[in-house]
Amino acid sequence: MTQPPINPALIKALEKSLCKFPRATLTHTPTPLEKLARLSDEFEGYQLYVKRDDCTGLAMGGNKARQLEFYLGDALARGCDTVLSTGAVQSNYMRMIAAATAKLGLECHIQLEQRVDNSSEDYRHSGNVLLDHLFGANLHHFPLGEDEDGADKSVAALADELTSRGKWPYIIPLGRTLEPKGALGYVVAAIELVQQIENQDLPIDLIVVGSGSGMTHAGLLAGLKLMGVTTPVLGICVRRDALQQHLRIFEHCQNLLKMLGQPGAVNADDVWVDDSALAPGYGQATTRVKQDMHLLATREGLLTDPVYSGKTFSGVMNLIRSGGAEKFRHIAVIHTGGTPAIFAYRKELIDG
């Protein structure tokens, strides 16, 4: 790392703060931190690494498993027997909620929003949707894709209905919340990553993560700052433009730090987002993104999806190609998973 060694006392203090939050065990961690040797050869002068959070173990892996440990830990502590949430048709999060609730013996209701203009059979029935069914989730549908408040209200109405039938529902929010419990999972991941970087003696000078709902980005950034890590974190936008996403991440960070009893550790200037890989929008990928997915697959045997992880890696490559990474020669990317979604985009990926 391009900074003094981390003070172990800061790590212990952070771990102690995390202990007050109920947590269910769902992940296989620590996930590996690996060098992308052949991909690095494609970009002379750069050393690229990947934190394999596609290997978290639950339901084909992904970053959401870390977040769900804290949400479902809270649900169990409250005595809830039913879990609800909302996301896109091919949401990795909904798939992992379905799997986690099955593992813990909880009833599951997930609402699928029409965020992407894609009516193909693959998109509507394969990939994550197929797995939602296999895990036994109850599927509901919301006709709009960019109405976060409306989607949340719809889930709340369903929760009221379930309550009237004698259930004890727990809602996992995807919108802005005063208690972003999911972000706690990436405070834990920040500790894990720092220890791996130090153990491997890697001079990492930039950490990159996909930035969508914002829990992963905010938790990682806040966790690093609480340990005194000065390495910048770059969030690659996958749903909103840079201005909207900056505001969202900063707000999540402030609420998370209040939960941890350490407000003010993240400043607005610490939040760095890039939307160069976002177009043409959520759940849609440019030819460049698909080419970069192919590059990763053929050089490293690494699978990424066109919604999150593919755009994240393509965003890193865009930064290098444009000369925007001149100051950052050793880059670690968080692989957030998304493998099942590849099958929902079969035609787009085959046809290029």
Q: Mind spelling out the 3-state secondary structure of 269-332?
A: HHCEEECCCCCCECCECCHHHHHHHHHHHHHHCCCCCCCCHHHHHHHHHHHHHCCCCCCCCEEE
Q: For position 4, what pLDDT does the model report?
A: 66
The SS3 assignment for 210 reads strand
From CA 16, how far away is CA 226, in angstroms rounded? 13
Beta partners for residue 171, in sequence order? 84
| Tokens (6 digits) for 148 | 């976060």
Fold of 64-171: Rossmann fold (3.40.50)
**Could you confirm whether domain 8-62+179-351 is CATH 3.40.50.1100?**
yes
Cis peptide bond upstream of 280, omega within 30: yes
Separation of alpha carbons 296 and 302, rounded Å: 6
| pLDDT higher than threshold 80 for residue 95 | yes
For residue 84, pLDDT over 70 is answered with: yes
Whether 37 shows a pLDDT value over 60: the answer reads yes
Q: Name the burial class of residue 14, with classes exposed (0-12), middle (13-18) and buried (19+) by CB atoms within 10 angstroms of its CB.
A: buried
Rounded to whole angstroms, the Cα distance separating 286 from 299 reads: 20
Amino acid sitting at position 232: P
Residue 42 has pLDDT above 50, yes or no: yes
Catalytic residues: 91
- 3-state per-residue secondary structure call for 43-81: CCCCEEEEEEHHHCCHHHCCCHHHHHHHHHHHHHHCCCC
pLDDT digits (tens, 9 = 90+) for 110-159: 999 999 988 899 999 999 999 999 999 999 999 987 888 899 999 999 99
192-248 tens-digit pLDDT? 999 999 999 999 999 999 999 999 999 999 999 999 999 999 999 999 999 999 999
Which residues of the chain does CATH 3.40.50.1100 include? 8-62+179-351, 64-171
What letter would DSSP give residue 183? G
Amino acid at residue number 298: T
Q: What is the pLDDT of residue 144?
A: 86
Per 3-state DSSP, what percentage of the chain is helix, strand, and coil (rounded to 5)?
Answer: 50, 15, 35
Mean pLDDT, the chain, rounded, equals: 95
Question: Which tokens hold the place of 162?
Answer: 């379930």
Q: Half-sphere exposure of residue 250, counting CA atoms within 13 Å on the CB side?
A: 14
Quick one: tokens of 66? Answer: 């870390």
Residue 3 has pLDDT above 70, yes or no: no
The answer to whether residue 341 scores a pLDDT higher than 90 is yes
Q: State residue 1's pLDDT score.
A: 42
